Amino acid sequence: MNTKYKEDIKEYYKFAQKVLKEYEICYDDISFLQQSENITFCIEKKSSEEKYLVRIHKSIDEGDEYQNNISMINSELLLLEKLNACELFTVQAPVKNRYNSFVTRVFNESLGKDLNVTVLRWIDGDTIDINNEKYNGLALKLGEEMAKLHKYSNQCETSEEFIRIEHDLETSKTNLLKLDKLVDINILSKMKFDEIYKCAINIIEFIKKNLSKNENWGLIHGDLNECNYIVNGNEIFLIDFSRCGFGYYLYDIALTLMHLSNENRRLFIKGYKNISLLPNDYEKMIESFFVLSVIDNMLFLSSNPEEYDYIKNMVNYLCDYVIRKYKNNDRFIFVNN
């Protein structure tokens, strides 16, 4: 950890303590967790074992408009409140401040601007490597949890005040145009850019033609990777809904399958189908969304120079394996089915 980063975190410690005066929460310990989409801290009252997650909405990506949009943040917290109330899920319940609001906006002197802060109740559990053999079977439960979320979303009515991002095909098309910044920083060659662009445009047209929104579109998690679910015993809980929004359910599935082994992909789909139906041609559709989700993930990570080597590996995987298989109509996700 470099000196500048240490100094920044020290400042955010002070800022978090300042903000917590706006909440009726007693605590005697505060610890830094990480900085990604948010700067996060855990606070704890040891005598009662109460714990909370504090999120300072400042992303590594300075262009992330979500963190400055109170309406979008508030909508995420309203969703969490609804999910808890329906008793089908255990998610991190939002905590209101002294003024009965979910979002606290406080001036940060170091940055010279206001920052949004939210507080969620803590859920005990651990992030795990779900592909480790000792966690056999949990991928099935993860699939069931996602299916429950999608099924709930399909029946859930939202008001005009509920504002979230849309993970739609137009967004994917816009993201394609942003890929040229990876060419500019020598992560992506012009030849591979052209290959990815052409394939993705064909995929977008294929999805438009063959998948209607009717029963296949609704609220999705939007980022259910290995860091965004935790395990406690045999239970698995979904966390971090900061990228939740409206999208195709199959896109949500594809995002998660990106991080699973072949066997766990099979189990995940089995678990999903235990709860909810999938289209007859779901394999081809999920693999189509998989290509788009890899592109979206590369762009999301590109704001962090520490991820450049990983992105280069993703580019090679996408061009040398995924796109080649896709063009030949060979399965590359459901290889054991």
Q: Are residues 64 and 87 in the same domain?
A: yes
Phi, psi (deg, nearest 5) at residue 89: -135, 155
- Is the model's pLDDT at 224 over the cut of 90? yes
Q: What is the CATH number of the domain that holds 52?
A: 3.30.200.20
**210 pLDDT more than 90:** yes
In a domain, 128, yes or no: no
pLDDT for 253 equals: 98
Residues with Cβ within 8 Å of 210's Cβ and at least 6 positions away in sequence, in order, are 281, 285
Does the pLDDT value for residue 18 go beyond 80? yes
Q: What is the CATH number of the domain that holds 215?
A: 3.90.1200.10
At 62, list the tokens. 């300075």
Q: What's this model's pTM, rounded to 2 decimal places?
A: 0.92
Nearest-angstrom CA–CA distance, 60 and 84 = 29
Query: Do 186 and 81 fall within a single domain?
Result: no
- Whole-number Cα distances in Å, 45 to 1, 51, 91, 198: 28, 6, 20, 55
203 and 319 housed in the same domain = yes
Of 334 and 272, which is predicted with more confidence?
272
Q: Worst-scoring range by mean pLDDT, 2-16, 107-121, 264-278? A: 2-16
Same domain, yes or no: 178 and 293? yes
pLDDT category of residue 138 using cuts at 50, 70 and 90 = very high
User: What confidence score (pLDDT) does residue 60 get?
Assistant: 64
Same domain, 56 and 116: yes
Q: Phi then psi for 78, rounded to 5 degrees? A: -65, -40
Model confidence pLDDT, tens digit, residues 147-178: 999 999 888 888 888 999 999 999 999 989 88
Q: Which domain holds residue 273?
A: 133-327
pLDDT at position 149 is 96
Domain boundary (121, 143, 169) is at 121
Identify whether residues 152 and 280 lie together within a single domain.
yes
User: Residue 270: its pLDDT value, please?
Assistant: 97
Percent of the chain topping pLDDT 90: 73
108, 137: one domain? no
* 60 and 96 belong to one structural domain: yes
- Shared domain for 78 and 177, answered yes or no, is no
Judge whether 220 and 146 are in contact, CB under 8 Å. no
Q: Are residues 117 and 137 in the same domain?
A: no
Say whether 29 sits in a helix, a strand or coil: strand
Q: How many domains does the chain have?
A: 2
Give the tens place of pLDDT for each residue, 68-101. Answer: 789 999 999 999 999 999 888 899 999 999 999 9
Q: Are residues 151 and 232 in the same domain?
A: yes
pLDDT value, residue 4:
65
